[in-house]
Amino acid sequence: MAVSAEEIEAARDLFSGLGDITTRKMMGGLCLYHEGTIFAILMADGGLFLKGQGAFAAELEAAGCTQWSYRHADRDKPTRMAYWTMPDEALDDPDLACDWARRALAHL
């Protein structure tokens, strides 16, 4: 399952307040970039994740966001990635979504 043109447009609209957003399809999902820096990914299932590194990861966790992880078939523990779910209230509020994205970009 891949992201649809409508999902891509919705993600671009959500972050349009940042200015120029570029995208690249990868592994069924979509990477979102601002000025060449990846700051978010849109998963094939519609999940939207912000890149959360350093102190920003703790902010995301405190806001109730969940870190993306997956399991390898040959490993006992899940592999955690530096991506976190968007806060629910930011998923349909472009101003709030851009605020979170700017905070993510400040830590990259």
- Average pLDDT, consecutive stretches of 10 residues, N- to C-terminus, the chain (108 residues): 90 96 91 97 94 95 94 86 96 97 96
Residue with tokens 């955690």: 80
pLDDT at site 73: 82
pLDDT at site 72: 81
pLDDT at site 2: 87
Q: Which amino acid type is present at position 4?
A: S
pLDDT at site 28: 83
Nearest residue to 42 via CA among 27, 54, 55: 27
pLDDT at site 1: 67
What is 5-67+84-106's CATH number? 3.30.1460.30
Q: Could you give the CA distance from residue 20 to residue 14 in angstroms, rounded to a whole number?
A: 12
